Structure 1
Amino acid sequence: MRGKWHRDQLSQRWEGNPAESSEVDDIMRSLKHKASSEDGDRAHSLPMTAAFMEKMLAWSFEICPSLAEATRALKRAFDDMSSDRTVPALKVDLRERALLTRHLEQLAFDTTAWTLWTRQA
C-alpha cells in the first residue's frame, strides 16, 4: 500500500484522502523534479486572478441564461435568515435545469477554491 488513499481489502471501501494517493505523490515529485532541474522548461500557468474569476462568472451567465434568476432566488432565500429559507422553484425544462445545475456546481467549486486559496493565515 502506497499513499494515504487506498482500498481496504477487508471492508472493500476506499479510505483516506484522494489528494494523498500514491499517484498524486508521484506526479508532485515529478513536477518538483522538473521545476528544480537546470534545463526544465519554465512555462508555468498564470496564477488565478480576480479578473479571471470575473470572466468565468460572465461566461457562465452568458451560456446559462437562467443562472442570473437562480442566483437571485438563492440570494433572496438566504438574505433573511429568520424567515423560511425555501428557494423558489424555477420554471425551466430538464435540459436547462441540467445546465443550470452544472454551472451552479462549478461556480460553488470555483468560489470555494478561490476563497481557500486567497485566505489570509
Structure 2
Amino acid sequence: MIAPNWQPIEALPFIAGMLDDQLHSVRQQVENLERARHRPGVLDSETVSRLQAVFGEQQDLLPVFREQLVRWLELPLDEHQRLEINRLNAVLDQMQDAIRRILSVAENRR
C-alpha cells in the first residue's frame, strides 16, 4: 500500500465535501441494492464481484480518512474546525455501516 499523503487543515472543506458526496453515493447504492434484492437475476455474479471490489476498496480507505481526522484533531483548531472534524467522524461511521450492508447483500447473492 502506498503511504497516505496527509493533508493540511486547510484541506478540511475539500475532504468534508468529498466524504459527504461519498456518503450520499453509498446510501444511494444501498437503496438500489435493496430494490434489486427482490428482482431475480439483477445481481449477477459480475455485478456482485464489481460491488465487492469497489466497496471493499472504499472500506479499506476508511481508516486512512479516520487517521487524517485524528491528525487534524492534534492541531490547534478553532471551534468550527473541531465541530466539522467530529461531524466527519460520524459521516465515516455512517459510511462504514452502509458499506457493510452493501458487502453483506453482495455476499449473500453469491
User: Structure 2 length as normaliser, TM-score?
Assistant: 0.37
The answer to which structure has the higher helix fraction is: 2
User: Structure 1 length as normaliser, TM-score?
Assistant: 0.34
The answer to which structure has the higher strand fraction is: 1
